Amino acid sequence: MKDASPAKPYALHLGVIALLFALSFVLPDYHHGLLARIMVLAVFAMGYNMLFGYVGLLSLGHAMFFAAGLYGAGLAVIHLGWSVPAAFAVGILCGAVLSLVIGVLALRTSGVAFMIVTMMFAQVFYLVMLYLASWTGGDQGMVVPQPARVLSFGATSLELTNPTVRYMSALALFSIVLLVTLAIVRSRYGRVLVAIRENEERTKMLGYDTFSNKLAAVVVSGTICAASGAAYALLFGYVGSSFASVQYSILPLLWVLLGGAATTLGPLVGTLFMYYVVDITSGYTSAYLLIVGIALILLVLFFPKGILGTIRHRWLGWLP
């Protein structure tokens, strides 16, 4: 947000997207599939970062927004037989509406109370998904049937189960959200969000309706998370209540903390790093949550700025 020329950040972000595109052709199958998944989940982390990093609102309930997109899209295909684009739109819409409602309620609180309230609303959402097991499949979850996961443009149709199509779809979503995030944080609105994080009282006295600004941020954040969830359902073909559990509210927090809160690329770095750490250690222990726990504590104790936050602080001041 310094007055640096906009060329550098945009070049960097386009470079990252180009690199991810190129990787599609060189990565071995296993890592190719993993990276597609990581990109979708990095979108989840970017949505989380929008609120946590830039507005300073620490939510412990973002799993509900991810799951709203997941169920919205997945169930629209499973029960209503809708097409992929329509289902994707439904998923996003579910997230937008849910985040608006939750935002209006939860933003009446702040600080610790905000954290607990969001956690409780997410818990309610999770339990409702379990309770409606006849539609949602409960904790068993449901498989989105393969024949339905097809994108049709007139005569041509792309099967989302195909690894390359899946990878490119994930990359497309990731790129759009990354560039949108970059544009938002460099905009005047982004400046207001950071001001609210730094000193809400002062921001009010500059004439800003901070409640509305925060509410908008919750909705943007929730909608991005829902887009990630909807994409997950359609690309990987599974919806289940575990994605609505507390754990999936903690994970984006961990990814963002690790990669660097309030950095546009931090969510990707954090998700990538954590996914590979878990992947490597899963050979030694089934208790991968142990790693998550240790990582959380080490991060808040010794590395609160995260990877990119530290790099920005030490070397690259212009990093958005």
Partner 1 sequence: MMPLLTTKGLSRNFGGLRAVDNVDFALMPGEIRAVIGPNGAGKTTFVSLVSGRIQPSSGMVVFDGADITGLPAYARVRLGVAYTFQITSVFANLSVYDNVALPVQRTLTDGRSKGAVRTGVMAALERTGLADRTHMLAGQLSYGHQRLLEVAMGLALKPRLLILDEPTQGLADSEIDNFIELVREIAKSATVLLIEHNMPVVMHLADRITVFNAGRILAEGTPEQIRANTEVQDAYLGTTHG
Partner 2 sequence: MHFGPHLLLAALEGLVTSAVLALTALGLSLVFGVMRVVNVAHGEFFMLGAVLAWAISTAISGHPALGFLAALVLAPLIVGAIALVAERLVLRRLNYNPEATIVATIGMLYIIQQLALTFYGPEARPVEPPFSYRILLPWFGYSGYKLSIIAASALLLVATWLVLTHTKIGLVMRATQYDSETAQAFGIPVDRVYAGVFALGAMLAAVAAVLIVPISQAHYLMGQDPLLLSFIVVIIGGLGSLRGTLVAAVLIGLSDGIISVFFSPTLAKIIATLLVAMVLVFRPQGLFGTASR
Residue 11 or 105 having the CB closest to partner 2: 105
Residue 283 or 317 having the CB closest to partner 1: 317
Q: Distance between terminal CA atoms of the chain? A: 7
Residue 277 engages partner 2 in binding (rule: CB under 8 A): no
Interface residues with partner 1 (CB under 8 A)?
1-3, 188, 191-192, 194-195, 198-199, 201-210
Residue 123 engages partner 2 in binding (rule: CB under 8 A): yes
User: What is the phi/psi pair of residue 238, to 5°?
Assistant: -140, 135
Other Cβ atoms less than 10 A from the Cβ of 243: the count is: 24
Residue 32 or 204 having the CB closest to partner 1: 204
> Cα separations (Å) of 180 from 68, 190, 245?
21, 11, 28
Q: Among residues 128, 143, 206, 316, which is the contact residue for partner 2, using CB under 8 A?
A: 128
Q: Alpha-carbon torsion 151, 156, 160, 164, what sign?
A: negative
* Secondary element (H or E) of residue 151: strand 150-153
Strands 150-153 and 156-159: antiparallel
Residue 25 or 284 having the CB closest to partner 2: 284
Nearest-CA neighbor of 20 among 258, 257, 268? 268
Residue 7 engages partner 2 in binding (rule: CB under 8 A): no
Residue 33 or 56 having the CB closest to partner 2: 56
Inter-axis angle of helices 210-236 and 188-198, nearest 10: 110
Residue 120 engages partner 2 in binding (rule: CB under 8 A): yes
- Residue written as tokens 């998700």? 271
Count of positions on this chain that bind partner 2 (CB under 8 A): 37
Per-residue string for binding with partner 2, 177-216, x by CB under 8 A? ----------------------------------------
Contact positions toward partner 2, by CB under 8 A? 58, 60, 105-106, 108-109, 111-113, 115-117, 120-121, 123-124, 127-128, 130-131, 250, 253, 257, 285, 287, 289-290, 292-297, 299-301, 304
